[in-house]
Structure 1
Amino acid sequence: MYTLYGKKGSGSATTQTALEIIGAPYRMVETASWEPNDAFSELLKINPLGQIPTLVLPGGSVLSESAAILIHLGLMHPDSGLLSGDPPARAQAVRGMVFIAANCYAAISVIDFPERWCADADNDDAAKDRIRAGTRARLHKHWEMFADIFPARPYLCGEQLGALDIHAAVVSKWSGARKHLEEHRPGFHSALMRIEAHPKVAAVFAQHWPKS
């Protein structure tokens, strides 16, 4: 059985959706660095960064980083469709997931915690606001680039929902990316909404982002 450390409304939605798609049994442990509980000290023992998602594999080894987890699950469960069986298509999916991790997820971390990236900014709200504004603008530009590189057909890697779709649908929820894409890349925004409507995705997203 897999053990997933995560939190509602967080990036752990990517891993949870993938686990649902492959049909693997898993145990969910709710914790996060911004709302530490007893389980957080347990998480720190296996992942000193305290990141979520962190996934403990059935054999006991530990995986972190959403893209790495998705790639691993796709390789271990080739019939799931998380990764294409076609090498060029699979390579593009890996490219896309690493693009999101390096250029989008990383920027969101700066927006959420600007004081970590600028000396003496803890008590300087003006500096933090400038960092957030510049980083958010760059993040939105990165999403525009991503939308141009990975057009939906109808999904981002072809005819079937895959790991890249899940990753893009989750990470684009933050820092105003969806609103920006709706205005500047409406076709890609429509693709994200189509991904969210997929039954496997919708069931998990309803847990993480319940609609009032």
Structure 2
Amino acid sequence: MYTLYGFKGSGSAAVELALELAELPYRLVDAASWEPGSAVDELQRLNPLRQIPTLRLPDGSILTESAAILLHLGLAHPSARLLPVDPNPRAQAIRGLVFIAANCYAAIGVIDFPERWCIDADDAVKEQIREGARQRLHSYWEIFADTYSDTYSASPFLNGATPGALDLLAAVVSKWSGARLHLERMRPAFFKLIESVEVHPKVAPAWRRHWDI
């Protein structure tokens, strides 16, 4: 059985959704560095960065980083179709997972914690950092939407006929820092795709544990 360390409304939602889609047994452990009373001490023993999601695999080993976890689940359970079967679409899905993790997730980290990136910054400087990172984040989402426009114009989802790992990560990470509002205005077709992910019958029940639909 898998053990997922995470928290409501956090990035662990993408992994929880993937476990649900793959119909894999797992248990949830509430753990978040910002949530007193959660299993944050246990989380730190497993992941010194205290980041979620953190996933304990059935053999007891630990896996961190959202993209790495989703890739592992897709490769370890190919019948779940979390990744495309054909090599070329699968390569593009892997590219997309890494893009979101390296660019979108990273920008959100700056927006949430600007003080980590500038020593002795006052509130005005922090807000400048936030706004610059937010603009960069929104531009990243535009690039992502444009990169995959041929995919979602030809198929219901980035994964093809059904949602997969890339759809889940895009839907979750776009919930933050005004990305959805920006995409609705600037990339409406991609925005509609993301909305269709969260209401998909196999996604919606777990999604509602994190956000309203």
What interval of TM-score do these two structures reach, taking the shorter chain for normalisation? over 0.9
Other-structure match for 1:149:
147
- 2:67: which partner in 1? 67
Matched, 1:100 2:100: yes
- For 1:70-89, list aligned pairs within 5 A: 70-89=70-89
Structure 1 position 85, deviation (Å): 1.3
The change in CA–CA distance for 1:155 and 1:79 in structure 2 (over 3 A counts) is same
Q: Distance in 1 between matches of 2:211 and 2:162?
A: 24
Alignment: residue pair count: 209
Q: SS state of the match for residue 200, structure 1?
A: coil
| Aligned 8 A contact 2:32 2:52 in 1 | yes
Cα distance in 2 between the residues matched to 1:141 and 1:69: 26
In the TM superposition, what are the counterparts of 1:93-132 in structure 2 within 5 Å?
Answer: 93-121=93-121, 124-132=122-130
TM-score by length of 2: 0.96
Residue of structure 2 equivalent to 1:178: 180
Preserved CA contact (<8 Å) 2:5 2:12: yes
Quick one: distance in 1 between partners of 2:88 and 2:38?
44
2:187 alignment partner AA: R
Q: Which residue of 1 aligns with 2:193?
A: 191
Distance 2:50 2:114 in 1: 18
Cross-structure match for 1:140 = 138
- Could you tell me how far apart the structure 1 residues matched to 2:177 and 2:209 are? 20
Counterpart of 2:157, as a letter, is Y
Q: What CA deviation, in whole Å up to 9, does each residue of 1:9-44 have, x standing for no partner?
A: 000100100111111111100010111425110110
Q: Report Cα offsets for 1:76-97 as digits up to 9, x if no partner.
A: 1101110111010110000000
CA RMSD of the aligned region, Å?
1.0
Label 1:210 to 1:194 Cα distance change in 2 as closer, same or farther (>3 A).
Answer: closer
Write out per-residue CA displacement over residues 19-77 of structure 1, whole angstroms, 9 at most, x where no aligned residue.
11111111100010111425110110010000100000000000111100000000011
Partner in structure 2 of residue 168 of structure 1: 170
The CA deviation at 1:135 is 0.4
Query: Match for residue 55 of structure 2?
Result: 55
Identity level (%): 63
Query: Equivalents in 1 of 2:38, 2:148: separation in Å?
Result: 41
Q: Distance in 2 between matches of 1:104 and 1:133?
A: 14
Paired letter, 2:133: T
Amino acid at match of 2:199: A
The amino acid across from 2:201 in the alignment is: P
Instruction: State the shift of 1:210 in Å.
Output: 3.3
Once the two structures are TM-superposed, the CA of residue 143 in structure 1 deviates from its matched residue by 0.1
3-state SS of the aligned residue for 1:3?
strand
* Runs of 4+ displaced beyond 3 Å: none
Kept after mapping to 1: 8 A contact 2:30/2:38: no
Aligned-pair CA distance for 1:199: 1.4
